[in-house]
Amino acid sequence: MGYKITLIPGDGIGPEIVREARKVLDAVGKKYGHEFDYTEILMGGCSIDAYGVPLTEEAVNTAKASDAVLLGAVGGNVGNSKWYDVAPNLRPEAGLLKIRKDLELFANIRPAYLYSELKDACPLKDEIIGDGFDMVIMRELTGGLYFGERHTESVNGVMTAVDTLTYNEEEIRRIAIKGFEIAMKRRKKLVSVDKANVLDSSRLWRKVVAEVSKDYPEVEVTNMLVDNCAMQLVMNPGQFDVILTENMFGDILSDEASMITGSIGMLSSASLGKTKLGLYEPSHGSAPDIAGKNIANPIATILSAAMMLRYSLDLDKEADAIEAAVAQVLKENYRTVDIMSEGMTQCTTTQMGDLIANHL
Ligand X SMILES: CC(C)[C@H](C(=O)O)[C@@H](O)C(=O)O
Q: Which residues are catalytic?
A: 146, 195, 227, 251, 255
- Is 93 one of the binding residues for ligand X (CB under 6 A)? yes
Stretch that binds ligand X, among 36-44, 45-53, 63-71, 89-97 (CB under 6 A): 89-97
Beta strand extents in 180-287 (DSSP E only): 189-194, 220-225, 242-245, 268-272, 278-282
Taking alpha carbons only, the member of 221, 227, 167 closest to residue 197 is: 227
331 annotated binding-site participant: no
Taking CB under 6 A as the rule, does residue 227 contact ligand X? yes
Give the DSSP H/E element, type plus range, for residue 152.
strand 150-155
Total residues contacting ligand X by CB under 6 A comes to 7
Looking at the Cβ atoms of 33 and 157, the one nearer to a second copy is 157
206 annotated as belonging to a binding site for a ligand: no
Rounded to an integer, what distance in angstroms lies between the CA atom of residue 122 and that of residue 126?
A: 9
Cα gap 76→48, rounded to integer Å: 12
Helix (H, G, I), strand (E, B) or coil at 235: helix
Applying CB under 8 A, the residues found at the interface with a second copy are 78-79, 88, 91, 93, 97, 122-125, 128, 145-146, 148, 150-152, 155, 158-170, 195-201, 203-205, 223, 225-228, 230-231, 233-235, 248-249, 251-256, 258-260, 264
Residues in contact with 44: Cβ distance below 8 Å, sequence separation at least 6, in sequence order: 10, 11, 14, 54, 55, 73, 74, 75, 92, 93, 95, 96, 286
Q: Which is nearer to ligand X, 93 or 241 (CB)?
A: 93
* Region of residue 144 (phi > 0: left; psi between -120 and 50: alpha; otherwise: beta): left
**Which region, judged by CB under 6 A, interacts with ligand X, from 92-100, 168-176, 232-240, 259-267?**
92-100
The distance of closest approach from Cβ of residue 61 to a second copy in the complex, given in angstroms and rounded to an integer, is 25
Between 50 and 78, CB nearer to a second copy: 78
CB of 168 or CB of 275, closer to a second copy: 168
Q: Which residues are annotated as a binding site for NAD(+)?
A: 285-297
